Structures are given as structure tokens and as C-alpha cells.
Structure 1
Amino acid sequence: MSDHKRVSTIVFDVNETLLDLTTLAPLFQRLFGTADVMREWFAELVLYSQTLTLSGHYTPFADLAGGVLRMVAKNKQIVITEDDISGLKSLIGSMPAYADVAPALTKLREAGFRLVTLTNSAPSASPTPLEKAGIAALFDHHFSVDAVKKFKPHPATYQLVADKLGLNTSELCMLACHDWDTIGAQAVGYKGAFIARPHNSVLNLPDVPQPDFVSDDLSDLADQIIAAGLPRP
């Protein structure tokens, strides 16, 4: 029996993996005159989320997103208003799902996998971002790093899911479009599945864990996971 057959649960990242981050681009186009700044802002957001965790600090992801927007704007001598910050938070909470998401989730559920989410975003009141995107009901559970006050890829975030579900980490597979997320999950025993969304690639280096499954289409990625063996023998 392969190790893949032990996997019973797929753990999905949310922002950019399931929900389309590019829908934030018009805000950055308006504020900075180019949508390209969105990628700079998001990279800084990830950097500072990890910096806070490494230095023993925590602030909710949406608040951090606003703070980083102010920082990037100050670097470019652009004035950001409270309305701009509110607009960013509103857009983050209303991102649509990619077209390949619902079919892939349905396919995995029908194959017998349990599906859950693990996001850096804090829990929000209904309707949640996933409810607005129309895919919340396809998941069995939703988890947030807010429960441990540490951002991914800290080991405690991935262990949280295993502990809450009463599973060994070897029974879990992290599916994300950020290689740092799959690397973090694999470091505590998960399998890794990488979906290559635009501007996201795998880091190919010796001694760096490589994802067990890789594709640029979520339905194809689901097929790979299913072909490796059903969740229970």
C-alpha cells in the first residue's frame, strides 16, 4: 500500500488557492496607477505575517493587510485613506472562486475524501468569504490560524487541523498555490499538493521538499490525488 492511500483529508489554503486574488487588481490600479503593485503588496503581506510569527507577535490578517498597504504606499509616497483600507478589506472578503474549484471539490468529495480549509484569515461573520463564493458547503470544516495566533507555515497551524480532526498528520494532504505552504505542511508529515496559479511556482532546490502532486488545473490535481489511491483501503 502506498503512503498516499493513508490520506483521508485534503486541507485547502483559501486566499489565491481557491479565491481569485486578481480581483483586487483594480484597487491597486486606482491607487498606484498600476495593478502590478498588488503582487508587491501581497509578497510583503506574506513576509510580514511570517515575521510577526517568528518574532512572537500576532495581529489579524485583514488588519495586517491594511497596515502593509499603508507601508507600501508610504514607500511610493502615495496617500492612503481609511476608505481605501476599508475597500481593500471588503474586496478581500468578496473574492470569487476560480472556475475550476467547485468541480474539483465535488470530484474529491465523491471519491471519499474529507475536505477542510486552513486559512491565514481570521474567522468572519456570515456570509463568510467562502459562502459569498458559493463553495463553503463543499467543505466539512473550516480552520483559521487565529486559533493558535500564528501564521502559516508555523508547525502549530498544521498540527491544529490534525488535532481538531483526531488524525495523524500523515493522513492529511495540504493543497495550496504557495510552495511555502506545502513545504511547511510536509515538514510536519502532510502530503503536499501544489496548484500553479498565476505568479506561483514550485521552488526546486536540493533538500527542499517537493509537492507530491503538481498541476495548473485543480480538476487535474484532484484526478492525480484520486489516482494515487482512495482515502481508505
Structure 2
Amino acid sequence: MSNLTIKAFVFDAYGTLFDVHSVIDKCNEIFPDKGEEISQVWRQKQLEYSFLRQLMGTYETFFSITREALHFACVQVGVDLSEDNENELLDAYLELTHYEEVEQVLEHLKPYQTAIFSNGSLDMLSPLVEQSSFGHLLDEVLTVDEVKQFKPTPMAYQLVLKRLRVKREEVLFMSSNPWDIAGATNFGFHTAWINRQDKVMDELGVKPHFVYKDLRGILEHKS
């Protein structure tokens, strides 16, 4: 048991609760033997485009960015993307597989506020949460689309305080993405890096407060 006073457990969605690379099967179905490469480039560009649009001041929803990133991935890998195939692959993003421990962990957190806070827009997040088995265990699904500022900008994380009515030090924020953990730590949240793939933390002058292989580790912060 830790000595933190946590009132809200806040989770990133993509890579933290849901496996973004569960789209590989659909990619392989449409483009045999190209699925993994398409998925990797797709995810890389999805993140890159959100950062670049933030810097350029040309905000688009994460759904638009996801479509643009898919177009890039298909051109780079050298496959032709029909409109039907595009729709099938974008639909796959609304049906991502969640990690096995998620529901059990959320069950244990019932006395606390629990929320998703994602760069994803509600047109992506709502169907995703609804098709999962744990939507009823979440109090809020928060999206940066409300402020038109992508994480890791401080203005994005400010939304959590406003909507959940908590102080920075009362939040434990979980993400598998090092850049998101850096942004949230910089903002003043307590952070738990869910390092599922044994990655290296980004060198951005801040470190996560806690590092776990999966979400089960965060349960030590229940009071």
C-alpha cells in the first residue's frame, strides 16, 4: 500500500487499455503478409501527425488523423487501399482487443473515480468502450477533442482536473506511451508507466513515478 492520496485513477486508452496492434489480423486479411508492417507504420504516423498538427496549429480529430495515417502506411508499404478496405480497417480501430487484466483491475478500483483520458475523439472512443466488457466500470471517458489540444500539452491534461474536480496530486495517470507519461509527469500528475513491451523511457527530463509490466501493479495505490 502506498502513501499517496489518490482520488482518481486515469487511464490512457491506446496501448494502455486496448491493444492497437490487434488490427494486424484485419490488415493481414486484406493485405496478406503486410499486416504487421502496415500496423506499425499506421501507429507511428498516427502519433506523429497528432504531434505535428499540434505544432502547426492545424487541429483535426484523432479519427481524421487515423485515416490520414492509414493512407500513408498503405502508400509506404506499397498496397492500394480501396474505400471499402479503408472503412473495414477504420472499423477495426473501433473493435480493438483490450488487455486481459483491465476489467479485473477496474473492478478493484470501484470506490475511486476512474476515467479514460485519450487523444482519441468520442467517435472512436465511445464504440470502443461500448464493445468492451468494462465500460460500466468507468465514470468518465474524456477526450482532448473537448479542448482541441493533443496530449502531451499541459492544456490537454488540465481537462482532467476540470472534469473530475480533483487536484493534480490526487491523480494517478497510467499510460504505456513514454511521451504521455512525460507530459503527465511534467504537468504534475502521479504517473505509472505501463511498460508492456519492455521499452526504454524517453529522455525528456522527467521520469514516471512508478513502472509496471501491466495494470495490476497500480492496485498497490489503493488506500
Q: TM-score, normalised by structure 2?
A: 0.90
User: Partners of 1:170 and 1:180 in 2: how far apart?
Assistant: 20
- Indicate how the Cα distance of structure 1 residues 126 and 79 shifts in structure 2: closer, same or farther if over 3 A, else same: closer
User: Partners of 1:125 and 1:48 in 2: how far apart?
Assistant: 17
Amino acid at match of 2:31: L
Amino acid at match of 2:77: K
CA RMSD of aligned residues (A): 2.1
Q: Are the counterparts in 1 of residues 8 and 166 from structure 2 also a CA contact under 8 Å? A: no
Q: CA deviation at 1:118?
A: 0.6
Amino acid at match of 2:85: D
For residues 103-114 of structure 1, the aligned pairs below 5 Å read 103-109=104-110, 112-114=111-113
Q: CA deviation at 1:44?
A: 1.3
For residues 175-186 of structure 1, the aligned pairs below 5 Å read 175-186=174-185
Aligned to 2:213: 216
User: Partners of 1:82 and 1:213 in 2: how far apart?
Assistant: 43
User: Partners of 1:147 and 1:23 in 2: how far apart?
Assistant: 27
- Indicate how the Cα distance of structure 1 residues 204 and 123 shifts in structure 2: closer, same or farther if over 3 A, else same: closer
Aligned to 1:157: 156
- Indicate how the Cα distance of structure 1 residues 96 and 177 shifts in structure 2: closer, same or farther if over 3 A, else same: same
Q: Are the counterparts in 1 of residues 10 and 115 from structure 2 also a CA contact under 8 Å? A: yes
Helix, strand or coil at the partner of 1:6:
coil
Q: TM-score, normalised by structure 1?
A: 0.86
- Indicate how the Cα distance of structure 1 residues 210 and 55 shifts in structure 2: closer, same or farther if over 3 A, else same: same
Aligned to 2:199: 201
Amino acid at match of 1:60: T
- Indicate how the Cα distance of structure 1 residues 180 and 66 shifts in structure 2: closer, same or farther if over 3 A, else same: same
Count matched residues.
220
Helix, strand or coil at the partner of 2:160:
helix
Q: CA deviation at 1:6?
A: 2.8
Structure 1 residue 225 corresponds to structure 2 residue 215: no
Q: Are the counterparts in 2 of residues 66 and 88 from structure 1 also a CA contact under 8 Å? A: no
Query: Gaps spanning 5+ residues in structure 2: where?
Result: none
Q: Could you list the structure 1 runs, at least 4 aligned residues long, displaced by more than 6 angstroms after superposition.
A: none
Q: CA deviation at 1:32?
A: 6.3
Q: Are the counterparts in 2 of residues 213 and 225 from structure 1 also a CA contact under 8 Å? A: no
Amino acid at match of 2:215: L
User: Partners of 1:126 and 1:97 in 2: how far apart?
Assistant: 13
For residues 30-49 of structure 1, the aligned pairs below 5 Å read 30-31=30-31, 33-37=33-37, 38-49=39-50
Q: CA deviation at 1:74?
A: 1.7
Identity of aligned residues (%): 25
- Indicate how the Cα distance of structure 1 residues 127 and 173 shifts in structure 2: closer, same or farther if over 3 A, else same: closer
Amino acid at match of 1:69: L
Q: Are the counterparts in 2 of residues 11 and 175 from structure 1 also a CA contact under 8 Å? A: yes
Q: CA deviation at 1:103?
A: 0.7
Q: CA deviation at 1:77?
A: 2.9
